[in-house]
Chains A and B, each alone.
Chain A
Amino acid sequence: MSLTEIIGPVMVGPSSSHTAGAAKLGNIARRLWGKEIKEVEIYLRGSFADTYWGHGTDRALIGGLLGWHPDDIRIRNAFSFTNKSEMMYRFYYESIDGAHPNSVRFVIKSKLSTMEIVGASTGGGAILIQEIDGFNVDIDGELPTLIIFHKDKPGVVSSITTELFRMKLNIAEMNLKRKARGQDAMMVIEMDSKIETKTIENLKDIEHVYNKIYFLPPSREETI
C-alpha cells in the first residue's frame, strides 16, 4: 500500500466499505451508463442490506449514481438531490447464494435500453465490478475500461485490437468471455489511456460486434 492509501482515502463517513465503497460503486455504474440516470433499481445484498441504513450506504449509492465521488459532502443529503436530477430509484434487498457479503446489483433503465451491474465493496474503499449484463467480469475501475459485446466468431478480437492499435492505444489487460461457442460473447479491455467517442463508433462498425459497447472513462485525477 502507498503512503496515501494508509492515510486515506478522504471520504464521507462512517465506513470505508459501507459508505466510501458504496459511493464508488454507484459512481462506476453512472460512468459505465455514460449519461444521466433517469431510472434505477438497487438491490442490496448481504451486509449492505442488513446495515445500509446505519452506514448511509443508500445515500452513498445514490450520490455515486448522481456522479459524485466518495469525498463529496453532498452524500449526507443525497436524497434531496434526486428530485432535481429527476432520478427515480427504488431500493430492494435480495439474498443470493454465494454473493459477496457487501454487494449490490443495479438495474439502470431508459426507454431504449437496460444495463445490469453487480459490484462488491471489497474493503478500505476498494471495489470490484463482478457482473455486467449477465457476464462475469473482474473490473476494479482503476483503469479506463472498454466492454464490448459481440458474437463469438473468428477474427473479431483481431479486428478490435487492430483498431485500437491504429488509434495508438495500449492494452493493459484483456479478457474474453462467451456464453457458448458461436454465441454471445464479451470482451473486457483495460487500457492505459482514454478512448475517443469516434473510436467507439468505429468499433461498433466491425463485423459481429453488437451495437452495445460500454466504456468506463478514467476517474478524476486521483493522488497516488
Chain B
Amino acid sequence: MRSFNEISDYMEKNGLDLVDSIISMETVKLDCTKEEVIRNMNNRLSDMKRSIREAAVNEWTPKIVPNDSLKMKKYLKKKDSLSGQIISKSSEIALLVSTFNASMGRIVAAPTAGSCGILPGILFSWEEHRQHKKEDLLEGLIIAAAVGQIIAERATLAGSEGGCQAECGAAAAMGAAALVWMECKKAEPCFQAVAICLKSIMGLVCDPVAGLVEVPCIKRNGSLVSIAVLSADMAMSGIQSTIPPDEVIDAMSMVGKAMHPSLKETGRGGVAVTKTGVNIAKNLLKNAPHLESK
C-alpha cells in the first residue's frame, strides 16, 4: 500500500469499509484468501497476548535496567494515575513486553523488536478498559499493520535508516489508528490520528546505550503510548491535521535521511554518549567474554 489516498479511493470504488478494504488489498497482493489473512493476523494477536503472559510469569533482568513495569504496576494499584487508566496501563504493558524483549523473551516485532511493547500496550489496555466486541482487537491490529505498510513504503521502519521516529514513532502512529477504529469504526479520523501522532514524534533519534535495545528504548515504549492515545482523542474530536497524513510520512522520510548517522542506531550520539551512557557501555564491555581472532 502506497498511501492513505490509495486506501480511500479503494474504499470508495469497492464500497468497502476500512478493514475490509485492507484485507481485500492484501488478498490481491499476496494472491491468498480473505480467511488466510484473517487467520494469520489472529495468530499474531494470540502471539502478542502470549508475550504478555510469558513476560508476567518471571522476573526478567536485562543487561542494564531493572524490570520497571513492576514499579508501574504497584503504583497503579495504590494510586489513581495522572495520565488516566488507559494510558497508564498501556505504559505498564509496554514496559513489561519491552523488558521481556531485552531479556531474550519471545515477542512479536510490531513493527520492530525495539518498539514491540507499544502496540500490545495500547491494544490490551484498551480491551481491559472499554466495552468491546470480540473482533475489535483483530480489526485494530489489521489497521495498525496497514499504517505500518504505508510508513514502510513511503519512509522506513528501521531505526538505522530513520531513527526512533521510524520504530517507536511508527508503532505509536499505528496504535493511534487502531484506537480510533476500535472506538468509532470511521476511517478518516484513523488517518488523522496517524498524522497528528507522527508530527509530534518527528525527528526522534535512535541512540541506544552500548548499542543495546534497553536505554532509552524500554522507557520510550512506556511513554510514547501516551502520544498515541491523545492523538486518537484529538482525531476523534474532529481535529484535522493541516498537513495530510501521506505528506507527513514523506516529511518523516526526509527527516530520517537528513538525520546525522550518529543518531541512527549507531550508539554514537544522543544519550548513548552521555557520561553515564559511555560508562555503562565500558562496564558492559568489561563483562563481555573476549573474542579471539584466528
Contact = CB atoms under 8 A, between A and B. Distances in A.
Interface of A: 1-4, 6-16, 19-20, 41, 43-44, 47, 49-56, 59, 71, 73, 75-76, 91-95, 123-125, 223-224
Nearest to A1: B152
Interface stretch (B30-38, B195-203, B227-235, B241-249): B30-38
Given A6-B148, A92-B294, A95-B293, 11 more contacts: A2-B26, A2-B30, A7-B144, A10-B106, A11-B108, A12-B107, A14-B214, A54-B288, A92-B293, A94-B293, A224-B40
Given A55-B212, A223-B43, A10 B108 contact: yes
Given A6-B157, A13-B104, A93 B292 contact: yes
A134 to B, nearest CB: 17
B23 to A, nearest CB: 9
7 contacts: A4-B44, A7-B109, A7-B119, A12-B107, A13-B101, A55-B212, A75-B104
Contacts of B62: 14
A87 to B, nearest CB: 18
Interface stretch (B110-118, B179-187, B251-259): B110-118
Given A92-B293, A224-B30, A14 B44 contact: no
A124 B44 CA distance: 16
A4 B294 contact: no
B263 interface: no
Give 7 closest A-B pairs by Cβ, nearest first: A13-B101, A6-B148, A53-B288, A3-B145, A14-B213, A76-B104, A93-B291
Nearest to B48: A7
Contacts of B113: 11, 13-16, 19-20
Nearest to A16: B113
B149 A3 contact: yes
A2 B28 CA distance: 11
Interface in B184-228: 210-214
Most buried by A among B32, B103, B106, B211: B106
B142 A9 contact: no
A94 B37 CA distance: 43
Contact of B105 (A8, A13, A91): A13
A9 to B, nearest CB: 6
A13 B54 CA distance: 13
